[in-house]
Amino acid sequence: MDFSLWSAMYPSDTICAIATATAPSGIGIIRISGKDAIAVTDTIFRAANHKKLSEAAAYTMHYGFIYDQDQMIDEVLVSVFRAPHSYTAEDSVEINCHGGPFILQKVLKLLTQKGIRIAEPGEFTKRAFLNGRLDLSEAEAVMDTISAQNEFALEASVKQLRGELSQLIRTLRQDILYEIAFIESALDDPEHISLEGYSEKLTEKCKALLSQVETLIASYQNGKIRKEGIYTVILGKPNAGKSSLLNLLLGENRAIVTDIAGTTRDVLEEDILLNGMQLHLVDTAGIHSSEDTIEQMGVEKAIEYANRADLILYLLDGSTPITEEDIRIARIVQDKKVMVLLNKKDLTQSIGEEDIKSILPRPVAILPISALKGEGMEEMAAILKDLFYEGEVTMNDQIYLTNLRHKQLMDQVKQSLLQVLHSLDQQMPEDFLSIDLMDAYKNLGFIIGEEIDDDLADEIFSKFCMGK
Ligand code: GDP
């Protein structure tokens, strides 16, 4: 870390924020952190036992009242944390108020009148990072933990929070640094350190590093799907049963409501949990009623969604023969991961497997269902489990990359290592090797924040929620 940068970023004032959701609830917590946290809280808090918080031991909780001069505002419990053993590594206080937004705002205002600044989103965690309590990937994991919507997302982020990814990155960096140091020493002191036979050794080393980096990169696609849900687009001509399927899935499995405020709602998007798997459903039925869906949403839009999809659920009405429109949709989706749902299996069937294969040669599965009767969903879940979870919806010991920033940096690390291998192959001078190794070393450092600039930290922490 560049220390001039460090001191520029290093926080010196005291901050406060409401750390809980601002809706009427049992309790609401105000968090204060910085060198004046305890002293300023003392000016608005009167403990029932008349003791001052400044004299209180760390990790103790105190019962009393918040006062605005002589007016009592709330009955509270106050926790005291002392540097460096707190979330931010600074002196901190948490005031447990009654959970009314009005009360919380009132207490917050009192604090700001005493000179405490309202925190930026994520500023508590940013301080934890700047004070060395968390590295960058661990700090990012805090936010991922808060926004986790399924078991996998939660486990992956908690693992990252515990530092498993950081540990791996640190080991990779150490390995690379060793090689850089060796090359540099040999170049400085050729009489004592020989580079003979070194290029074979470095080739082996780089190949091993590359393989670890590639495994991490490969984990991203799977990790992303598991963390954010399988991006599933439902397509089918009008009356195929898209709305019925969606209602069936939502009715049984509605767990999470995705609010996509501000976006154009040309489709409906919903997240559901199906046997532990999160599906991000994109329902083109949302835009139509009875007319030509594909025509109405525009072939281009359909292609756009199909391209983005991890999975397409292509609905056919099994009770009527295949139509021109079915064929048109099949053409759009033919190169994608398509599961054909042959709907209305409760009625006499007019479509067979051969008919489907003639318009769509390589579906990942063809499954008869009845959206009306609620049949076929268990079978669908089993297929999804095989397709996206290698048959097991539990976490394994693998370390997953789930953050796009990490994945992009890892791609660059891969390029640098490939470049080193290329230079070795071409017997280029050793300085070339150390330049590319240094690039790999630095980009790994960006993941955990050992290399960082102000803008990056601001960008990352601004995505956090208030009070965290
Ligand atoms: P969409 O236009 O693709 O959204 O299709 P809908 O879900 O609105 O369904 C069209 C019609 O087919 C409705 O009358 C549904 O009740 C009916 N339908 C949907 N699924 C089934 C099914 O599995 N069996 C039967 N018999 N009818 C179904």
The tens place of each residue's pLDDT in the chain, 468 residues long, gives 444 444 455 668 999 999 998 889 999 999 999 999 999 999 999 999 999 999 999 999 999 999 999 999 999 999 999 999 999 999 999 999 999 999 999 999 999 999 999 999 899 999 999 999 999 999 999 988 988 888 888 888 898 999 999 999 999 999 999 999 999 999 988 888 888 899 999 999 999 999 999 999 988 877 888 888 899 999 888 889 888 888 888 875 543 434 343 333 456 788 888 888 899 988 765 444 344 555 555 567 777 888 889 999 999 999 999 999 899 889 888 889 999 999 999 999 999 999 999 999 999 999 999 999 999 999 999 999 998 887 666 666 778 888 889 999 999 999 999 999 999 999 999 999 999 999 999 999 999 998 877 777 777 787 777 778
| Ligand 1 mean position, distance from CA 352 (Å) | 19
Atom of ligand 1 nearest to the CA of 371: 23
Atom of ligand 1 nearest to the CA of 373: 23
Compute the CA torsion angle 448, 449, 450, 454 (nearest 10 deg): 170
User: What whole-number distance in Å separates Cα of residue 138 and Cα of residue 448?
Assistant: 8
| Ligand 1 mean position, distance from CA 257 (Å) | 24
User: What whole-number distance in Å separates Cα of residue 335 and Cα of residue 363?
Assistant: 9
Atom of ligand 1 nearest to the CA of 343: 23
**Strand pairing report for 230-236 and 277-283:** parallel
| Ligand 1 mean position, distance from CA 297 (Å) | 20
User: What whole-number distance in Å separates Cα of residue 354 and Cα of residue 159?
Assistant: 47
| Ligand 1 mean position, distance from CA 360 (Å) | 22
- What pLDDT, on a 0 to 100 scale, did the predictor assign at position 255? 38
- What pLDDT, on a 0 to 100 scale, did the predictor assign at position 218? 87
Atom of ligand 1 nearest to the CA of 290: 2
* 3-state helix/strand/coil string of the chain: CCHHHHHHHCCCCCEEEECCCCCCEEEEEEEEECCCHHHHHHHHEEECCCCCHHHCCCCEEEEEEEEECCEEEEEEEEEEECCCCCCCCCCEEEEEEEECHHHHHHHHHHHHHCCCEECCCCHHHHHHHHCCCCCHHHHHHHHHHHHCCCHHHHHHHHHHHCCHHHHHHHHHHHHHHHHHHHHHHHHHCCCCCCCCCHHHHHHHHHHHHHHHHHHHHHHHHHHHHHHHCEEEEEEECCCCCHHHHHHHHHHHHEEECCCCCCCCCCCEEEEEEECCEEEEEEEHHHHCCCCCHHHHHCHHHHHHHHHHCCEEEEEEECCCCCCHHHHHHHHHHCCCCEEEEEECCCCCCCCCHHHHHHHCCCCCEEEECECCCCECHHHHHHHHHHHHHCCCCCCCCCCCCCCHHHHHHHHHHHHHHHHHHHHHHCCCCHHHHHHHHHHHHHHHHHHHCCCCCHHHHHHHHHCCCCCC
Say which CATH architecture domain 16-133 belongs to. Answer: 2-Layer Sandwich (3.30)
Name all residues whose Cβ lies below 6 A of ligand 1.
Answer: 236, 238-244, 285, 343-344, 346-347, 370-372
Q: Which two structure tokens, joined as six digits, stand for 303?
A: 């292609």
| Ligand 1 mean position, distance from CA 245 (Å) | 8
| Ligand 1 mean position, distance from CA 247 (Å) | 11
Atom of ligand 1 nearest to the CA of 370: 23
Closest residue by Cα to atom 9, ligand 1, is 241
- What pLDDT, on a 0 to 100 scale, did the predictor assign at position 468? 80
Closest residue by Cα to atom 25, ligand 1, is 344
| Ligand 1 mean position, distance from CA 372 (Å) | 7
Q: What residues contact 407, with CB distance under 8 A and at least 6 apart?
A: 217, 220, 401
| Ligand 1 mean position, distance from CA 243 (Å) | 7
Closest residue by Cα to atom 10, ligand 1, is 239
**Strand pairing report for 311-317 and 230-236:** parallel
| Ligand 1 mean position, distance from CA 283 (Å) | 15
- What pLDDT, on a 0 to 100 scale, did the predictor assign at position 252? 56
- Whole-model pTM? 0.72
228-389 fold: Rossmann fold (3.40.50)
| Ligand 1 mean position, distance from CA 350 (Å) | 16
Out of 372, 373, 377, 380, give the residue to mutate to test ligand 1, the one with the largest number of ligand atoms within 8 Å of its CB. Answer: 372
Best CA proximity match to 144, nearest among 209, 224, 47: 224
- What pLDDT, on a 0 to 100 scale, did the predictor assign at position 247? 84
- What pLDDT, on a 0 to 100 scale, did the predictor assign at position 73? 96
Q: With contact defined as beta carbons under 8 Å apart, do 145 and 157 qualify?
A: yes
| In the chain, where the domains are located | 16-133, 145-224+400-461, 228-389
| Ligand 1 mean position, distance from CA 238 (Å) | 9
Out of 239, 288, 317, give the residue to mutate to test ligand 1, the one with the largest number of ligand atoms within 8 Å of its CB. Answer: 239
Atom of ligand 1 nearest to the CA of 375: 23
Q: Which two structure tokens, joined as six digits, stand for 266?
A: 């040309």
What is the sign, positive or negative, of the torsion defined by CA atoms of 256, 257, 259, 260? positive
Chain position carrying tokens 């590093």: 209
| Ligand 1 mean position, distance from CA 97 (Å) | 52
Closest residue by Cα to atom 14, ligand 1, is 239
Closest residue by Cα to atom 16, ligand 1, is 372
Chain position carrying tokens 């009623």: 289
**Strand pairing report for 338-343 and 117-118:** unpaired
User: What whole-number distance in Å separates Cα of residue 134 and Cα of residue 111?
Assistant: 27
Out of 233, 237, 244, give the residue to mutate to test ligand 1, the one with the largest number of ligand atoms within 8 Å of its CB. Answer: 244
Spatial strand order in the sheet of 311-317: 254-256, 268-274, 277-283, 230-236, 311-317, 338-343, 365-368
Atom of ligand 1 nearest to the CA of 246: 7
CATH of domain 145-224+400-461: 1.20.120.430
Q: Give the distance from CA 404 to its chain's centroid.
A: 8
| Ligand 1 mean position, distance from CA 240 (Å) | 6
